[in-house]
A and B are shown apart, each in its own frame.
Chain A
């Protein structure tokens, strides 16, 4: 139980760090434009395929087409979260420094989400009252 609380605090710290990178990429005086905030949509969308696949199919089988489709879509969302800042920077809507900060924030946030799934997701029934 204690390990659960420690992990939760660590994950929330890394989540806050990632969001800080994203916000720095938008709000620094040097940059000033808020277009990179659109990657928040990808952050919110990325765990959804995996959650749906866990609910829908039983994960006692070793190979599961629904889960693999969920991995495929989740990977696509992650790739899109990296692609959007690059395309914006190439079109000079945002600066390359802001792009770099947003991508660093992406890495941290997606590692946080992955950490959530690894630490808190491996139960038979995925419920919100697990801890």
Chain B
């Protein structure tokens, strides 16, 4: 039926129509191809040109949600950092609840996670602009103070990560007590690892370029 219609048209109309159909009937709708390419592709698979199938009405490229991933980057980074940070804390809450006795899980090991949290807050309290020196307000201590603050924050973060590994291996893996469960040690390690990476994602995953 479509071929009858095509025969009555002029050459230019025919070409335009075939090109338009080729635009819509290609299987990878998300990729832009030159119309000649699309024509070649649809000429190769010419089996569904004259029959209308029930899937003809589906257009895949027409979604109006033009998500600007550049703008959403800060939101995604904040949410990912939140998931990581709070998952770390819930892991240690779980370990503290499952192993409440002092012999199974020394309460002093919680210090590691607390220092990691303080380091997270310190790292994210200063913006990259203040460290570079190109923000409008000087802040409390100026550029040098911001750098020292960030340096101490990163040192605490790395230190707590290393300490958590030490706690895992020194306190739980290499131990004389054979009936001690290693799970609290693993929980301390994962808590600090998650808090550390949450801090990194929150600090470096967000961009401060207001104008792009």
CB-CB contacts of A50-78 with B at 8 A, as 1s and 0s? 00000000000111010011011111100
Question: A75 to B86, Cβ gap below 8 A?
Answer: yes
Most A CB contacts (10 A, CB to CB) among B77, B82, B210, B212 go to: B82
Question: A86 to B94, Cβ gap below 8 A?
Answer: yes
With a CB–CB cut-off of 8 A, which chain A residues contact B210? 61-63
Contacts of A63 in B (CB 8 A): 74, 206-210
Question: Which A residues lie within 8 Å of B82 (CB)?
Answer: 71-76, 79
Interface string of B125-157 (1 = CB under 8 A from A): 001000000000000000000000000000000
* Distance A71 CA – B78 CA, assembled complex (angstroms): 6
Of residues 173 through 212 on chain B, the ones whose CB sits less than 8 Å from some CB of chain A are 202, 206-210, 212
The reply on B85 being an interface residue by CB < 8 A is: yes
A83 to B94, CA, bound (A): 9
Query: Are B78 and A83 in touch, CB under 8 angstroms?
Result: no
* A74: nearest chain-B partner, CB-CB: B82
Within 8 A of A (CB), among B39-60: none
Set of chain B residues within 8 Å of A80, measured between Cβ atoms: 86, 90
Interface majority SS on A: helix, strand, loop or mixed? Answer: helix
Chain A residues whose CB sits within 8 angstroms of the CB of B127 once the complex forms: 65
Contact B75–A79 (Cβ < 8 Å): no
Verify if A91 is at the interface (C-beta below 8 Å from B): yes
Cβ distance B126 to chain A, nearest Cβ, rounded Å: 11
The reply to whether the CB of B98 lies closer than 8 angstroms to some CB of chain A is: yes
In contact, B90 and A91 (Cβ under 8 angstroms): no
Interface residues of B in 51-106 (CB under 8 A from A): 71, 74-75, 77-79, 81-83, 85-87, 90, 93-94, 97-98
What is the chain B residue whose CB lies nearest that of A62?
B71
Please give, as numbers and ranges, the residues of chain B lying within 8 Å of A86 by CB-CB distance.
Answer: 90, 94
**A48 is an interface residue with CB less than 8 A from chain B:** no
- The yes or no answer to A87 lying at the interface (CB within 8 A) is yes
Which residue on chain A has the smallest CB distance to residue B198? A72
Least CB distance, B116 to chain A, in whole angstroms: 15
Inter-chain contacts of A71 with B (CB < 8 A): 75, 78-79, 82
Interchain residue pairs A-B with the least CB separation, the first 7:
A75-B82, A83-B90, A76-B86, A71-B78, A79-B86, A68-B78, A72-B82
In the complex, besides A68-B206, A69-B78, 9 extra interface pairs with C-beta distance below 8 angstroms are: A62-B71, A71-B79, A72-B78, A72-B81, A79-B83, A79-B86, A87-B90, A87-B93, A90-B94
Residue ranges of B at the interface with A (Cβ–Cβ < 8 Å): 71, 74-75, 77-79, 81-83, 85-87, 90, 93-94, 97-98, 127, 202, 206-210, 212
26 contacting pairs across A/B (C-beta < 8 A): A62-B71, A63-B74, A63-B208, A65-B127, A68-B75, A68-B77, A68-B78, A71-B78, A71-B82, A72-B85, A73-B82, A74-B82, A75-B81, A75-B82, A75-B83, A75-B86, A76-B82, A76-B86, A79-B83, A80-B90, A83-B86, A83-B90, A83-B93, A86-B90, A86-B94, A91-B97
